[in-house]
Structures are given as structure tokens and as C-alpha cells.
Structure 1
């Protein structure tokens, strides 16, 4: 575990839904520590038990050195990534830095095994570069320069032996980063349950689409929406971006990045919230599914109060759908999908560019429910 000079200090923790969670350190800070440990080992010709470094935001971090190998010309040290209480795919991974002195005073930094390579334009690094982002790249090289002094140089290679496997659990495959994980961290500190990095990843993916000339996107909440868009609507995966629960954020990003057309495809359980103007669909922020369904059924007219009470008592939209289909009130789905379109367009109104919005809702149990225009027309536009 990485520690700080005062582990009990309040700035080492964050409170989330009433829980006190410990902050951790990014892959960038961990790679910096590995680099410093390797340089000190090489210059002193003796292994280091611990190493102290500064994260990008200046916070002091103390790491134990997990593995060391060295001779007179090269040293390699491993530091274990400590993400604190954040559920991060890279937590616990060993990050290695291998350092070899140069005959000049230049510092060269590259990625080795398990560090991804950029293949698409639109990311912070150019295609062909290792996925070591600008801030950690700067921090690693500054720390190396401090250890080496002004007159010595070094070749530094950052590697993560488990990186290729771990990368499958991250956004990297969708971002066109192949072969491993990214060395990340604008602050150098991991804040547990932070949504900012997740949103940032979505924005990066959207920017890749714009860089390649796309003007239209299909937005889905997650894997179910993506599978439905591909399997039932025949839409290419290359047109799809997962927006998670951040519907409002992603819609604003659509406009900021100057897309002019979107199709929202999602399960009713998520999308019914959007129809009521709820643009953060995580249950921690809002769960008014029953209330929204009851209101729309009531506005149809002729729906018995007892039936509305039954719907209100349902715990899931799946159970609502079963009752609605049995009673013949399927018209409510069209009302809801039309409101999804209207709410999204209203959110983006009065700003440029104008964004055309359509929507499709489905159920994992019963399949297609409704679309904002004829489904065959949507398929023709997006296939």
C-alpha cells in the first residue's frame, strides 16, 4: 500500500454516499515511483526498500519497492499500483520502470510490455506513441531529471506485465489503444468513485469519432443497448458510443463537439427517466420509474386507478411491461419515446449546432417497444 507522511490526514479521504473512502495514486504516479527507484538503484548500485515521490498535484506518496533487478548498466524496479478504495482495474498491478544510462544528457521515455500504443487520432498522444499521457510523461521525466542531474541522460521504459489482460477491462480497446493499459493521471491521485475520469474517457472516444469525420453518433447506456443496436437494428459498432448514466453530460458533449445527429438506443428502465427530464440515470441520483410510468398511463385516459396502483407497486420496469402488455396499454411506450426525443432536443435548444435526435426503447425481456419514428426508417438511416 502506498502511504503519505500523514495517513490520517483528511485530504487522504473522500466521502461518498456516507462512506469514508481512501484515496490512491494513479498509474502515472506509480510509474514515477518505479522510475525514481530504478535510477537510484542504478546510480547507487544497491536496491531501494521505499521511494518517495510527488504526484502531479504535489501530494507526497511513499511506495514500497516490490521487485528489483540491476547490474552496472541497467536497473529495473516494480511498484504496486495502489488505487485506494477505488474499484480500478489496474489496482494491484505491478508497474515496472527499466532505466539504462545514456552517453548524452537526454531523457527518452517509452512504453514496453503491457503499455498500450495509440492507433487513432484524437487522443492526447499521436498515433504510434505509447499511451503515457502528457501529465505523467512530464512528471516522470521531471523526477528522472532531478535524480540524474543536468549532465546525465537515460532511456526509461515503463512496462506492465499484466497490462494486456487488464486493458480488456478498460476503455482502451474502444479508444484504439492496443496492447495494454494507459499510464494516466492529471492530478496523480485517484479519487474513489470519481465520475470525472469516466466522463473524460467518453469525451475522448467521442472526439475520436469527430477526428475521423463522423457527424452522427448512436448513444447507448451500456452493453444491453449496444447489443440491441447491433443485433436488432443492424448498426455498426463503429457508430456506437456508450454514455453510461451520464446522459446530460454526453448530450452537451455532442453539441460541443459539433455532431449534428444522434440516435439514443436504450432499455426502458434507464430511458424512462430521460423522458421525465432526468439526465443522470444512476439510481443514486433518481429513481422515479414507477411515478413516470403511472403519470404517462394516466394521461392516456381510461386507465383504471387500480391498474395504476399495480404499476406503482412494481419494483422493476420488466414487471410493469408485463402488466401493460397484458392489459393492452402498449401505446404508453410511444408516448415515452417521443418524450425522450423532446427532452433531449429541449436540453440542447437555443445553442449551436442544432442536433437532430431520435430514440429507440426496448426491453431485454420483450424486445423492441417503440421508436420516435418508424423503425424501418431508423434502420435505413443508420445501417
Structure 2
């Protein structure tokens, strides 16, 4: 087995931002072979530009998506940005060919908006604004030729994103996802936490949960690590490293799977989110109409208003308690586990008593 590090790639969001910046440069008569864009975390990323040219009132450019060593369905696709210069300040982003439009609630962008997520939008806007003359704006149309066909091999049709792919990426960088290599790359985070003197650790399935835990609730960054989809794998290694307690901190869509005893949370491995929610709501006395609405939804974010409308929000605490119990059982009681469930915006939906104890000990600002 090779010890060669796996090569990182760039997200579709980075490609779109780079293409938009190159299109502005083409409009200005300064075509470029590569551009630098800034990630949502402030990291400078360089992307090669495959081509660009000026058009009447703007410019067009394209970047070829390089996913590195990640088996990404969008690897090698062309991400195109067409820029039309406007006399009105600000940047408007539109979906062109092969980029989807949101048609159902519960996603990062509202219904009717192009499926260009907040991180890429910020990158595109910043890249364009830094090149525009003062007082001017632009309309940016992002296209992915062939994207509509590719999207049929993603979850977009189920999520209600029609017409093409989503432009995504919270960090701008694609981390290689070879499963064993990626799982093994996550484990050293635990030893770092241990080396800093902690015997409690916070597991966040993704970067959004990690950021919420640290920036909104004041949990020490040194104690928070990402597990990606491999919650069971990381729980096992927390035991091996002598951790005493684990706080699971994440979005309802991931935590509800743990409540059902699912410890590899990738949707291709197991996706019983809505069924689990429906079962616990039914057990809590929800009417059949509520259960049917939940099962007809597409995302857990879309289920939240339904739960609120039927006054069933107590289910979140039950799910948190159940996730903790299933996690403790998974490691045969070698860890105490607490759970916090949050929304994409960082609002706490539910937590259990063990979570309060661990969080309090770590000095969070929840009372």
C-alpha cells in the first residue's frame, strides 16, 4: 500500500469563483492563465483557467474541476461563468445550463434560488467585487455543460433541486475521500486533543457543526474534531486513546441516524432519517397526519416546521438521549456520551443531561 499522500482538489464553488474572476479579467482585456480566490475561511486558493474571452458588456471564462484523488462525479467537468457588467453595485448570481434550481424548502438556499450554496456565493461575490471598478456591479451566470445529466446520479432530484448540479463547498477544497485513508486521517485528531490534556472530546460530523460548537457556543476549538460520516470509527478510537466522555454535536440530519443505531452516516450506506423521525414522533403521540407529512418530506430541515406546527418539539430531546444511548452501547459502555442536536443556523433543537454536563465542564456558554 502506497504511503503517498492523497492529492486534494478544488470544489465546484472554487471553480465558479475562479471562472467569474477570470471572466472579469477578460472583460478588462487582461486574460489570465490562473487566478487566486479566497475561501470562506480566508484561505487563498489558486485555480488554473482553461479559457476566457471578452463579450459585449462582460466576459466569459471556464475552469475544469479537479477533484484531486477524490472519486467525485464532477471531476473533469467544465464550470463556466458569464459576467455582464452592471451600473448597479452588487453581485447577482444566476443559474445557467446544468446548474440546478431549488424547488423545495429545507435546503441551504430558499425556493426559487439557484443551487449555489452560501460558501460559493461568498467566494464568487468577493472574487468579482475585488476586480470591478468602483460603483459597478455584475450579473454572474454559472453553467455546467452536461450538468443536468450528471445530476441524475446525485441526490439532487430527491432533494428537489431541478435542472442540474449544485455548486457547493464550505472550505473551497476537496479532501480525498478514499474511505480507509480518510478514516485513518481523522484519527490523529483524537491524539492531539489528548495531548492537550483533555479526557473529553467533542465529535462534530461536519465543518458546519464544528464551527457552531466553537464560534457560537464557545466550546474550546482544541477539543472539537470532525468525524465526517465515520462516527462509529471515531468512537472506537476515542476508547483506544483513553477518552472518558464524548459529546456528539451535529445537525439533526446526522444525529437522527445515530439515534437509529447507524454509525456510518453516508446516505449511500444508510438513510433512515425521515423514517426514524416519523417513528419517534408516532411513539410520542403525533397524529397520523404529522407522520405522513414527515415521510413525504425531503430533508430534516423541511421536517422542523412540521414538528413545530404539531407541537412535538419534545422529540428532539428524546432523539438526543437515544443517540447517546446507542453510542454508549456501540462501545460497550467504555465511554459516557452526550448529544446536542442543532439546525443549520446553529440553533439548539435538543440535548440531553450528559451533554449539559460535558459542555459545562468544557466551559460552553449554554445555560
Q: 1:138 aligns with which of 115, 122, 139?
A: 122
Work out the CA distance in 2 between the residues paired with 1:152 and 1:183.
Answer: 25
Corresponding position of 1:168? 152
1:331-370 residue pairs with structure 2 within 5 A?
none
Residues matched between the structures, number: 241
Work out the CA distance in 2 between the residues paired with 1:221 and 1:148.
Answer: 41
Q: 2:19 aligns with which of 17, 22, 34?
A: 34
The reply on whether 1:149 has 2:130 as its aligned counterpart is: no
1:29-108 residue pairs with structure 2 within 5 A?
29-44=14-29, 47-108=31-92
Work out the CA distance in 1 between the residues paired with 2:151 and 2:37.
Answer: 26
Corresponding position of 1:329? none
List alignment gaps of at least 5 residues for structure 1: 1-15, 211-215, 243-253, 262-273, 280-342, 355-383
**What SS does structure 1 have at the residue aligned with 2:14?**
helix
1:1-383 residue pairs with structure 2 within 5 A?
19-44=4-29, 47-193=31-177, 199=229, 206=253, 238=295, 257=316, 277-278=329-330
**What SS does structure 2 have at the residue aligned with 1:20?**
coil
**2:327–2:337: 8 Å Cα contact kept in structure 1?**
no
**2:52–2:62: 8 Å Cα contact kept in structure 1?**
yes
1:73-103 deviations in Å (ceiling 9; x for gaps): 2321110111211111111111010001112
Give the CA deviation at 1:218: 11
**1:217–1:240: 8 Å Cα contact kept in structure 2?**
no
List alignment gaps of at least 5 residues for structure 2: 184-204, 207-227, 231-249, 276-290, 300-312, 321-325, 341-349, 353-367
**What SS does structure 2 have at the residue aligned with 1:131?**
coil
**1:175–1:205: 8 Å Cα contact kept in structure 2?**
no
1:261-295 deviations in Å (ceiling 9; x for gaps): 9xxxxxxxxxxxx899448xxxxxxxxxxxxxxxx
TM-score, with length taken from structure 2: 0.52
**1:52–1:62: 8 Å Cα contact kept in structure 2?**
yes
From the CA coordinates, give the structure whose radius of gyration is larger.
Answer: 1
**1:205–1:241: 8 Å Cα contact kept in structure 2?**
no
TM-score, with length taken from structure 1: 0.50
Q: What is the aligned-residue RMSD (CA, Å)?
A: 4.6
1:294-350 deviations in Å (ceiling 9; x for gaps): xxxxxxxxxxxxxxxxxxxxxxxxxxxxxxxxxxxxxxxxxxxxxxxxx99x99899
Give the CA deviation at 1:199: 4.7
Give the CA deviation at 1:217: 8.7
1:94-119 deviations in Å (ceiling 9; x for gaps): 10100011122232112211111112
**1:114–1:181: 8 Å Cα contact kept in structure 2?**
yes
